Structure 1
Amino acid sequence: MDGDRQGWLACVLSGAVFAVCMAGTTLPTPLYGHYQEKFGFSELTVTVVYAVYAFGVIGVLLLAGNASDTVGRRPVILTGLGFAAASAVCFLCATGLGWLYAGRLLSGLSAGLLTGAATAYVMELAPQGGASRATFIATAANMGGLGCGPLLAGVLAQYAPWPLYLPFVVHLALVACAVAVLAWLPETVRERRSLRTVRPQRPSLPAQVRAVFAPAAIASFAGFALFGVFTAVSPAFLAESLHERNHAVSGLVVALAFFASTAGQLAVGPVGVGRSLPLGCAVLIGGLALLAGALWWDLLWLVVLSAIVGGAGQGLLFRGALSAIAAASPAEQRAAVISTLFVVAYTGISVPVIGVGVLTELMGLEGAGLVFIACMTVLVSSAAAYVLRRPVPVGT
């Protein structure tokens, strides 16, 4: 029993380390309006600054997505925390747009190192028989951390001094605490090899994972696309169309989407992994419909409701996808397979965001948002039809 308690403590603490890193990736979200005023750039530039982060994630996942399988979880996570600290320093020193690009790129490198490594680490630290609960801790740390970032920055920017500096000072302190926690946690990779043995990898999957991966990846792309656009664009929509310039409110609205995702993940247990994918797609379509209504009628309460419903749908489908893929993956390749899933997910969080930024220049924020919603509705509907025709073979 004591061993189980210690295992769960280690599992939860590793999840907290994961959450601290992910919070840093969304910390600038409610601050982009300040940066636009300070440096004088357009909404398209905001979406490109945001997407640079995702390109950093994808680059690391492709170049070193399997690094923690080789050199160990702790060294890779520690390196990711170092990049998170360097990102915060870039934002603290920002005197021009180049600093923002550098900060976002470093943040992406940090998240890219941690997504596969920390997810596998949390699962491996859990006591035997705790795989389902550990999967929830890992995905909740990911989404919960992403939600805490804009909430923390929004509250500090609105009610504390130095809005462009204090959030990053606080995050640096949290990163230092995370490093101290990581030093206490054990390593879970028993046969470690030299960093020189790590090679860039093309996205590839073991044969036994492929049947699970296709529907999971389609659903994950759609869910992350909604999160990407919502995170990058919703603060500007609140300010320009709804005249809501309170940074705490814009941070809270974005945070609600991520917190609702965590709540949606809780429903996977009773719903079942296989059913969570089509059900998550259906709920996500509901969130898209609510967001369309918010854009059409300029209603704040519909924005809030769309964040909650869309986030819950994303949480349902993403935890289901991650559980199915983790169960199907060989232990020695688990982090690499999880990293491949995140390559697909972060493609969804980056490419559509830039597309919305380009359309915003041509047809305004509301028009661009409605075009995006129409495209995502078609994609999510296709994903739902796919997984209904070919149910995910859980536990293969």
Structure 2
Amino acid sequence: MDGVRRGWRQCLLGGAVFAVCMAGTTLPTPLYNLYQQKFGFSELMVTVVYAVYAFGVIGVLLLAGNASDAVGRRPVLLWGLGFAAASAVCFLCSTGLGWLYAGRLLSGLSAGLFTGAATAYVIDLAPRGSGSRATLVATAANMGGLGCGPLLAGLLAQYAPWPLYLPFAVHLGLVACSAAVLLRLPETVGERRPPRTVRPQRPRLPAQVRAVFGPAAIAAFVGFALFGVFTAVSPAFLEHSLGVHSRAVSGLVVALAFFASTAGQLAVGVIGPGRSLPVGCAALLAGLALLAGALRWDLLALVVLSALVGGAGQGIAFRGALSEVAQASPDDQRAAVISLLFVVAYVGISLPVIGAGVLADRIGLEGAGLVFIACMAVLVSVAVLYLLRRPAPART
């Protein structure tokens, strides 16, 4: 019994470290308009600065997504915290657009090291036989951390001094505490290999994972695409179209989408993993429709509803997807397979965002948002039909 308690305590501490790292990746969200005013760049540059992060994530996942399977979880996560600290320093020193690019790239490197390794680590730390609940801890830490970033930065920017500096100083302190916690947690990889054995990996899947990876990848792409546009564009829409100038409100609206995702993950236990992907995609479609209404009629209430409904749909779909992929993966390849799922997700969070930024400079923010919604709605509809015809097998 003591071993079970210790396992869950370690699992939750690992999840807390995961959340701190991911919070840093969304910390600048409610601050982009301030940077835009300070450095004088366009809406397209906002989306490019945001997307640089995703390219950093994808690069690390492809080049070293299997690193923690070889050298151990803790060394990889310590490097990730180091990149997170370096990112915070770049934002603290920012005197121009180049510093923002560097900070976002380093943040992407940090998230790239964490996404696969930390998810696998949290699952490893949990007591044996608790894979489903451990997956919930990992995905909740991921999404909850992403939600805490804009909420923390928005509150500090609105009610505390130095809005472009204090959020990153606070996060730097949290990263230092996380490193101390991580050093006290055990390593879970038994047979470790030298770092030189880590090689760039081609995107490939073990045969037993292929049947479930297709629908999982569809859900990841669409859900993260919605989050990407919400995170990069909604603060500007709230300020310019709805007249919402409060950084706290802007950060809260973005945070609601991520917190709703965490709530959606909890609902998978009721819905069932086998039905979570089509149900989640249907909720994503509803969230997109609400966002279209918000853009068309300039209604804050619809923005909030779209964050809640779309975020819940993303959470339902993504937990089901991650659970299926993690359980189907061989133990010695789990982090690599999870990393590949996140590659698909971060393609979704980057390319549509840049496309929306290009269109925003030509047809305006609202028009670009409506075009994005139409494209994602088509993709979600196709995904729902595919998933209903070929549902992923349920696992307990």
- Shorter chain as normaliser: what TM range? over 0.9
Extract structure 1 runs of 4+ deviating beyond 3 A.
none
Contact 2:288 2:306 in 1 (8 A): yes
Structure 1 counterpart of 2:319, which letter?
R
Structural mapping, 1:383-394, within 5 Å = 383-394=383-394
1:122-271 matched pairs, under 5 angstroms: 122-271=122-271
| Alignment-mate amino acid for residue 91 of structure 1 | F
Matches within 5 A, 1:1-396: 1-395=1-395
CA distance in 1, matches of 2:137, 2:264: 13
- 1:35 is paired with a residue whose SS is helix
Amino acid at match of 2:277: L
How far 1:130 sits from its partner (Å)?
1.1
Instruction: Kindly indicate whether the alpha-carbon contact (under 8 Å) linking 2:272 and 2:394 is maintained by their aligned counterparts in 1.
Output: no
One-letter code aligned to 2:210: R
- Give the whole-Å Cα distance in 2 for the aligned partners of 1:176 and 1:197: 29
C-alpha distance in 1, partners of 2:54/2:132?
A: 28
Counterpart amino acid of residue 103 in structure 2: G
- What is the aligned-residue identity percentage? 81
Amino acid at match of 2:171: H
Runs (5+) with no aligned partner, structure 2: none
For 1:283 and 1:67, locate their aligned partners in 2 and report how far apart those are by CA, in whole Å.
35
Q: Aligned residues, how many?
A: 396
Task: Write the distance in 2 (CA, Å) between the matches of 1:288 and 1:226.
Answer: 8
Counterpart AA for 2:296? W
Q: Which one-letter code corresponds to 2:287 in the other structure?
A: G
SS state of the match for residue 267, structure 1?
Answer: helix
Q: Does the 8 Å contact 2:274/2:395 carry over to 1? A: no
Please give the alpha-carbon distance, in whole angstroms, between the structure 1 residues aligned to 2:73 and 2:115: 11
What's the TM-score, normalizing by structure 2?
0.99
Q: Is the 8 A contact 1:212 1:394 kept in 2?
A: no
> How far does residue 129 in structure 1 lie from its aligned partner after superposition?
1.7
TM-score, normalised via structure 1 length: 0.99
| d(CA) in 1 for partners of 2:282, 2:218 | 14
Task: Identify which range, 162-171 or 266-275, moves more after superposition.
Answer: 266-275
Query: Partner amino acid for 2:187?
Result: E
Measured against aligned partners, the alpha-carbon deviations of 1:95-152 in whole angstroms (never above 9, x if no partner) come to: 0000000000000000000000000000010001211110000000000000000000
SS state at 2:203 partner: coil
Q: How far is 1:249 from its partner? A: 0.2
The CA deviation string for residues 181-233 of structure 1, in whole angstroms up to 9 with x for no partner, is: 00110000000000000000111100110010011101110000000000000
Q: Aligned partner of 1:354: which letter?
A: I
Please give the alpha-carbon distance, in whole angstroms, between the structure 2 residues aligned to 1:215 and 1:14: 28
